[in-house]
């Protein structure tokens, strides 16, 4: 098959491309990426001269560029990772998020419709469901949980999801959506919690924690996420949403303390900063649907995944230091 992976130079997208090259080496992968600050072409450097791989620098909002790529490659599938995803940035620059996350999704969907009803998968987020209370650990997000967004980022992702489902109902476009919990692992841009804390701790810099660090997230190792998406692409029911969670809820402050211990750094590096506007208290995914229908389960225990992630950042300082030098 020929698969266009948008946002493939970013964190989850690049991990997905590496996963697909390993598991399905005969598939042709085209990475379409605008290379914003969070996209790094160097991440995919090892694939540059491999057969069945092509990198195209373009914006998913550019209808002409997307149409040209579809005409050249005749894709069988599109997997859309391309998104503005940093909540803080969405608060200061909301219109950028609406443009990429909603308009860009619309451009891709319309290309899929016009060029042969191409199979489309939307990578979304559990943030579209809003937040859960800290004192109800039995409450989890299911695919039937109403959308109740808290930020321009999550609102733009929810809008994109609804657009995807409308193309299924209106045009019969073969689509699926996955909504994942917080990912962690290699190639994560060092602005999100885990890579920021790891890189700052390595450099003995302050570790800024919002509020008192009591917000809870469900953590999913990125390789497990990639396997889930692959299963949905090949076996998922069309027109359906699948939640992908790690079964691992932790408070932010406990994550930061764990990173300090693993790196042998003092907790005195932790600094508490003013909480983010609209900061959701807790996310927690119920992944029973994908488990029952497709047999997927997270395979990486958090204790193992976080150690592997920390070790990766220790061994790849050149990757993240080159990024930080540009910010």
How many beta carbons lie within 10 A of that of residue 224, not counting itself? Answer: 20
267 is catalytic: no
Point out the catalytic residue in the list 153, 167, 187, 221: 153
Point out the catalytic residue in the list 33, 59, 126, 224: 126
Sole residue written with tokens 């359906």: 240
Chain center to CA of 299: 18
Residue pair 95/118 in contact (Cβ under 8 Å)? The answer is: no
Point out the catalytic residue in the list 127, 131, 161, 224: 127
Torsion over CA of 123, 182, 99 and 39, rounded to 10 degrees? -90
3-state secondary structure at position 240: strand
DSSP letter for each residue of 267-298: GGGEEEEPPPTT--SB--B--HHHHHHH----
- Taking every pair of Cα atoms in the chain, the longest distance, rounded to a whole number of angstroms, is 58
153 is catalytic: yes
Which residues make beta-bridge pairs with 79? 5, 121
Strand 53-57, strand 182-184: pairing: unpaired
DSSP 8-state secondary structure symbol assigned to residue 275: P
The residue among 154, 180, 36 whose CA lies nearest residue 87 is 154
Residues noted as catalytic: 126-127, 153
């Amino acid at each position: 098959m020929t698969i266009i992976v948008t946002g493939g130079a970013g964190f989850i997208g690049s991990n997905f491309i590496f996963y697909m090259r390993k598991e399905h080496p005969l598939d042709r992968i085209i990475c379409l990426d605008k290379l914003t600050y969070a996209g790094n072409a160097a991440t995919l450097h090892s694939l540059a001269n491999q057969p069945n791989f092509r990198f195209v620098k373009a914006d998913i909002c550019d209808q002409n560029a997307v149409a040209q790529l579809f005409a050249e490659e005749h894709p069988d599938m599109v997997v859309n990772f391309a998104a503005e995803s940093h909540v803080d940035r969405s608060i200061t620059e909301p219109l950028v998020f609406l443009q990429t996350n909603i308009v860009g999704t619309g451009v891709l969907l319309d290309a899929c419709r016009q060029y042969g009803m191409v199979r489309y998968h939307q990578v979304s987020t559990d943030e579209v469901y809003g937040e859960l209370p800290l004192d109800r650990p039995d409450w989890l997000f299911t695919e039937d949980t109403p959308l109740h967004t808290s930020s321009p980022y999550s609102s733009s992702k929810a809008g994109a999801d609804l657009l995807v489902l409308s193309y299924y109902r209106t045009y019969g476009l073969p689509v699926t959506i996955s909504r994942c919990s917080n990912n962690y692992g290699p190639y994560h841009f060092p602005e999100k919690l885990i890579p920021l804390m790891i890189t700052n701790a390595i450099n003995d810099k302050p570790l800024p924690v919002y509020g008192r660090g009591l917000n809870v997230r469900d953590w999913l190792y990125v390789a497990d996420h990639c396997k889930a998406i692959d299963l949905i692409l090949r076996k998922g029911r069309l027109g359906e949403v699948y939640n992908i969670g790690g079964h691992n809820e932790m408070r932010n402050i406990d994550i930061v303390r764990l990173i300090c211990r693993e790196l042998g750094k003092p907790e005195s590096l932790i600094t508490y900063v003013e909480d983010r506007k609209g900061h959701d208290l807790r996310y927690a995914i119920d992944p029973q649907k994908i488990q029952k229908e497709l047999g997927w389960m997270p395979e990486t225990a958090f204790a193992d995944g976080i150690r592997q992630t920390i070790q990766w950042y220790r061994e790849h300082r050149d990757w993240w230091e080159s990024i930080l030098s540009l910010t």
